Amino acid sequence: MKKILVIYFLTIMSLVEAQITPQQIAQKAFKSTVLISINDKDQQPLSMGSGFVIGNNLIATNYHVIENGGGGFVKLIGSDKKYQITGIIEKSERLDLAILVVNGLIAPKLSFGDFNKVEVGELVYAIGNPSGLEGTFSQGIVSGIRTIGDEKLLQITAPISPGSSGGPVVNGNGEVIGIAVATLTNGQNLNFAIPVNYLNNLQLNGNKLPKPLSDVSTPNSSESFFESVGRNVIEEVNPVLFKWTSNQYMGYYTFSIKNNLDKAIKDVICLVIFYDETDQPIETELVVINDLVPAGLAKRTKEFGRIDADEVRSLTKSTEIRILNFEILK
């Protein structure tokens, strides 16, 4: 019995010790996150972004941070020492990823998490240098996992601003699950990160001799994955025509999903929020529309029933429907 209690106690202690606080995550990430400054071919300032250490003398970032660059440097957060970028060993314009070579940089690399285990609602942290504000650490949640054809994109509520691009997005264990890429300025908390699995695959192919930035920049490169997503996905699928109905037993509501994309969608996940006359939320409900919504058309949802619908309806002044996720069909 004593042996069982000792094992149980040690197990509990191990779990407690394994927990990582946000402060510890920030301290760990700052040691491996860099500010990136890029000059053009005339050595004039071109862009600024973020990146993080993934190996000896290797920095991961977004391709758009270094695109059309002629050179530049990186510096660790909290340090004044600058390390010249000597080249690039791998890139993907489509995925907006690049792996840079920076000689002489000694820093711990960040470990990778498994993007396939990421769940909507879990806490995440974004680390970067938004608008040049070095060492910014922000907290949010995973608000959606977008599926675009065969590729995925992580949607988070942690703020991302110019200068954050290329920085790590980590989970509650401090593991990188995404690379910050952009935010949509016409949406609230619509921030995106590229799944770390894509970077891992790119890194496996990166056993090449480094090339100067000026040799790999492609001014007329193909559209990146995020650009196609950001332009089409978020704004082009909209909930419309919300309506209450009821019978003697139960109340119902329904609405339509309008799909302005050039591809059909399905499995639309929506968050319905009911507000009172003071604009305070009084109830929320997560609903899923599994029906196919054809390209350029709309689909009326089934009736979602609530036993207390009459009460909710009587207290509701306005309703908001947020599109959280959906699948785009080929």
Is 64 part of the annotated catalytic residue set? yes
Q: Is residue 104 part of a domain?
A: no
Q: What predicted TM-score, i.e. pTM, was given to this entire model?
A: 0.65
Q: Which of 32, 92, 143, 165 is catalytic?
A: 165
Domain around 282: 234-328
**What is the CATH number for 281?**
2.60.40
Number of domains in the chain: 1
Q: Which of 47, 50, 64, 164 is catalytic?
A: 64
Q: Is residue 302 part of a domain?
A: yes
Distance of alpha carbon 45 from the chain centroid: 27
Q: Is residue 85 part of a domain?
A: no
In DSSP notation, 38-68 reads EE-TTS-EEEEEEEEEEETTEEEE-HHHHTT
Range 193-214 burial, b when 16+ CB lie within 10 A, else e = bbbbbbbeebbeebeeebeebe
Q: Is residue 252 part of a domain?
A: yes
Q: Is residue 317 part of a domain?
A: yes
73 contacts: CB under 8 Å, gap ≥ 6: 36, 37, 82, 83, 84, 85
Q: Is residue 40 part of a domain?
A: no
Express as a percent the part of the chain with pLDDT over 70: 79
269: pLDDT confidence band, cut at 50, 70 and 90? confident
User: Using an 8 Å Cβ cutoff, are 166 and 182 in contact?
Assistant: no
Q: Which of 32, 92, 96, 161 is catalytic?
A: 96
Is 96 part of the annotated catalytic residue set? yes
Q: Is residue 292 part of a domain?
A: yes
Q: Is residue 278 part of a domain?
A: yes
231: pLDDT confidence band, cut at 50, 70 and 90? very low
pLDDT digits (tens, 9 = 90+) for 123-134: 999 999 876 778
